Chain A
Amino acid sequence: NAGVTQTPKFQVLKTGQSMTLQCAQDMNHEYMSWYRQDPGMGLRLIHYSVGAGITDQGEVPNGYNVSRSTTEDFPLRLLSAAPSQTSVYFCASSYQPGTSFAGYTFGSGTRLTVV
């Protein structure tokens, strides 16, 4: 049971390049989400998904695309990288919240630098 796996752990991009941050979970969680962490601002929600084929925007979605074709995977695509997207990215997953909701499992993060 690997939990939430994010790849790569580190990445340097040039402005204008595109790339995909991978996120996979093996816990059969319905809910998955992407956050970015910038210094002094906590984590902010980029996109989230409540199940395969269903995604929605979070607080800071501009410049990012997501899709959820399977329960296990929730990739985050940067369409044209900008220096403002330099950040640490976290993926999280959970069961549907309810009375026995145990919380969210986070990946170890991807540190992205755009130069």
Chain B
Amino acid sequence: AQKVTQAQTEISVVEKEDVTLDCVYETRDTTYYLFWYKQPPSGELVFLIRRNSFDEQNEISGRYSWNFQKSTSSFNFTITASQVVDSAVYFCALGTSYGKLTFGQGTILTVHP
């Protein structure tokens, strides 16, 4: 069975602070995919980043970066220089080869001006 745990229920930061969202996953599959989605107050799911299990290279994309470590089954997501518009619920998700996604409970991020 797949499982995704986001230990942080809510995070509150002041604008321009860096913030890291934690994600730990469990799976027996050797091939899997990890995602971060953003859900703003309007309710839609916005794709942010994806990482395949066979590629542990960490990257930076604009203000977003991620740290994928298979040894600890973690896929943490960092927003640099946070902005008020980053306020949203962030979901970590684990995908299998059958097109099934398992989501974490979500982390509510509030960025104060």
Residues of chain A touching chain B, judged by Cβ–Cβ distance below 8 Å, are 30-33, 35, 40-45, 48, 50, 58, 88, 90, 92, 94, 96-97, 99, 101-104, 106, 108-109, 111
Q: Is the CB of A43 within 8 A of B99?
A: no
Q: Check B91 for interface membership: any CB of A closer than 8 A.
A: yes
| Chain B 44-83 interface residues, beta-carbon cutoff 8 Å to A | 44-45, 47, 50, 52, 54
**With known contacts A101-B52, A102-B50, A44–B44 Cβ distance under 8 A:** no
A43 and B43 contact, CB distance less than 8 A? no
How far apart are A81's CB and chain B's nearest CB, in angstroms? 21
In contact, B100 and A58 (Cβ under 8 angstroms): yes
Count of chain B residues with a beta carbon within 8 Å of a chain A beta carbon: 25
For A33, give its contact among B35, B47, B54, B101 (CB under 8 Å): B101
- In the complex with contacts A97-B95, A103-B33, A45-B45 CB distance below 8 A: no
Do B99 and A35 touch (CB < 8 A)?
no
B contact residues around A30 at 8 Å (CB): 99
18 contacts across the A-B interface (CB closer than 8 A): A35-B101, A40-B106, A42-B4, A42-B106, A45-B101, A45-B102, A90-B45, A92-B101, A97-B31, A97-B95, A101-B50, A102-B50, A103-B35, A103-B50, A103-B95, A104-B95, A104-B101, A111-B43
Q: Whose C-beta in chain A lies nearest to the C-beta of B44?
A: A108
- CB-CB under 8 A from B54, the residues of chain A are 99
The 7 closest A-B pairs by CB, nearest first: A31-B99, A42-B103, A106-B45, A43-B103, A42-B105, A103-B50, A97-B97
Task: Compute how far the CA of A12 lies from the CA of B69 in the bound complex, rounded to whole angstroms.
Answer: 44
Distance between A87 CB and nearest chain B CB, rounded to angstroms:
12
Apart from the given pairs A41-B105, A42-B4, 17 other A-B contacts in the complex at a CB distance below 8 Å: A35-B103, A43-B101, A44-B103, A45-B101, A48-B98, A48-B99, A92-B101, A97-B33, A97-B99, A99-B54, A103-B33, A103-B47, A103-B95, A106-B44, A108-B44, A109-B43, A111-B43
Distance, CA A90 to CA B91, complexed state (A): 14
Residues of chain A within 8 A (CB-CB) of B101 are 33, 35, 43, 45, 92, 104
| Known A-B contacts A42-B105, A42-B106, A99-B52; A50 and B99 likewise in contact (beta carbons under 8 Å) | yes
